[in-house]
Amino acid sequence: MTSPWKLDPEAASSAFDLLKQSSCVLMPTHQNVDADSLSSVLALKLALAQVGIRGEVLITDGEVPHSLEFLPGIEDVLIYGIDELPAYDLLLLADHSDRTRGGDFYRDDPTRTNGDIPIINIDHHVTNDHFGTVNIVQGSAASTTEILTDVLAVWGTVLTRDIAQCLLAGIYGDTLGLRTESTTARTMRTSADLVDNGGNPVPIVNALFRLKPKSSVCLWRSALRGVSWTGDLIWTELTQKVFDDCGAQRSEAEGMVNFLVGTEGSRAAAILYASPNGWRVSMRSMTEDVDVAKISAQFGGGGHPRAAGLQIEGGEDAKQQFLEKVAEMIKADPEVAEPTYVSDVVLD
């Protein structure tokens, strides 16, 4: 458990002052929008409406993911590239670790976030570089929505059921249902307060963690059938044909590698996606002394210690060499009897 944090009420008040001067505040999500990003700005839109401030939520790349369609207020979001941008005089970037995270909204015109239009920056990434005109950044908060719950209290927002539901969904999303190391007693108390105000974990847990498309099950059937071991590495392989036959997206297979990594007796897991020149590999580890970022780097890839990726160029020989080399690299220290497991991690 990380140490608790305290909101700077002056920063929260400065943000509110700036918001009250705005005729329209645009609130773009970060790219590859997730529950915390979208719930933050949906909650803010509802909170701002209580005091007559117009806020607009903008999905910055692609569409609303199916799994987030349950969020209150989702019917009012704008989609970048489809809906017309409103004339805005203030940006609020929630859950953006830096000013470049806004997907196509940023890429199409990087000057949009250069500060000419003032920016309110509310975020929980430790790497946040305080790019805003006003910055509310708490690196040890579990989610941006956890911070926002305190911000809205400073603003005197009435915590309606819809706002509570958005905030709770963001916390659940980034903590995988209060399971990560970032989840503190404070996070749990905030969650309990949100439930007291009408937040309901059931639809959140179902949408974020339980429901899946049929295509995912089709994919998993094939992936599980192909599970193999090379030393303590558990791995499976998926071809493009399987994705096509199942009608599945690449992202639907990532849950599979997270599932495999929890297999007792394994020290790392990998999915090998066949590509025209070889394989793209996604790796995971939940054993404390196995750092898959370092392993991937040996093969020209990279990522996080618990989740990383790389590319294998070549044919079956290259694949076999890769598997054997990884098995060698993850071998357990014979002096250590039991593996030490780390908590779940969220990568964004």
Residue 41 Cβ vs Mn ion, minimum distance, rounded to whole Å: 12
Number of alpha carbons in the 13 Å side-chain half-sphere of residue 330:
34
**Radius of gyration (C-alpha) of the chain in whole angstroms:** 22
Which residues from 207-246 bind Mn ion, rule CB under 5 A? none
Among 17-25, 35-43, 85-93, 215-223, which window interacts with Mn ion (CB under 5 A)? 35-43
When the beta carbons of 36 and 61 are compared against Mn ion, the nearer one is 36
Say if residues 142 and 180 touch (Cβ distance below 8 Å). Answer: yes
Q: How long, in residues, is the chain?
A: 348
Say if residues 91 and 113 touch (Cβ distance below 8 Å). Answer: yes
Query: Residues touching Mn ion: how many (CB under 5 A)?
Result: 5
Distance (Å, rounded) from C-alpha 235 to C-alpha 283? 9
**Residue with the closest Cβ to Mn ion?**
36
Residue 57 Cβ vs Mn ion, minimum distance, rounded to whole Å: 16
- Return the residue matching tokens 């993850």: 330
Distance (Å, rounded) from C-alpha 251 to C-alpha 303? 16
Among 102-110, 143-151, 232-240, 314-322, which window interacts with Mn ion (CB under 5 A)? 143-151
Residue 176 Cβ vs Mn ion, minimum distance, rounded to whole Å: 12
Query: Which amino acid, one-letter code, is at 177?
Result: G
Distance (Å, rounded) from C-alpha 218 to C-alpha 241? 12
Distances (CA, A) of 220 to 88, 131, 209, 288, 306: 45, 42, 16, 27, 21
Among 18-26, 36-44, 207-215, 313-321, which window interacts with Mn ion (CB under 5 A)? 36-44
Q: Does 146 bind Mn ion (CB under 5 A)?
A: no
- Which residue, among 184, 172, 188, has the nearest Cα to 141 in the 3D structure? 184
Structure tokens, 109: 């015109």
* First and final C-alpha spacing in the chain: 19
| Count of Cβ atoms closer than 10 Å to residue 126 Cβ | 10
Residue 145 Cβ vs Mn ion, minimum distance, rounded to whole Å: 8
Residue 138 Cβ vs Mn ion, minimum distance, rounded to whole Å: 11
When the beta carbons of 103 and 301 are compared against Mn ion, the nearer one is 103
When the beta carbons of 122 and 261 are compared against Mn ion, the nearer one is 122
Instruction: Out of 61, 174, 232, 252, name the contact with Mn ion by CB under 5 A.
Output: 174
Residue 17 Cβ vs Mn ion, minimum distance, rounded to whole Å: 25
Q: Write each residue from 63 to 102 as x if it is in contact with Mn ion (CB under 5 A), else as -, in one continuous string.
A: --------------------------------x-------
Instruction: Write the CB contacts of 14 (distance below 8 Å, at least 6 apart in sequence).
Output: 134
When the beta carbons of 113 and 175 are compared against Mn ion, the nearer one is 175
Residue 123 Cβ vs Mn ion, minimum distance, rounded to whole Å: 8
Instruction: Out of 16, 25, 33, 36, name the contact with Mn ion by CB under 5 A.
Output: 36
Say if residues 284 and 261 touch (Cβ distance below 8 Å). Answer: yes
Residue 266 Cβ vs Mn ion, minimum distance, rounded to whole Å: 29
When the beta carbons of 124 and 267 are compared against Mn ion, the nearer one is 124
- Return the residue matching tokens 């915390």: 36
- Which residue, among 61, 65, 147, 76, has the nearest Cα to 107 in the 3D structure? 61
Among 34-42, 49-57, 149-157, 334-342, which window interacts with Mn ion (CB under 5 A)? 34-42
When the beta carbons of 106 and 279 are compared against Mn ion, the nearer one is 106
When the beta carbons of 113 and 144 are compared against Mn ion, the nearer one is 144
Residue 346 Cβ vs Mn ion, minimum distance, rounded to whole Å: 7
When the beta carbons of 165 and 216 are compared against Mn ion, the nearer one is 165
User: What region, left, alpha or beta, does residue 40 occupy, with left being phi > 0 and alpha being psi -120 to 50 degrees?
Assistant: alpha
Chain positions contacting Mn ion, by CB under 5 A:
36, 95, 143-144, 174
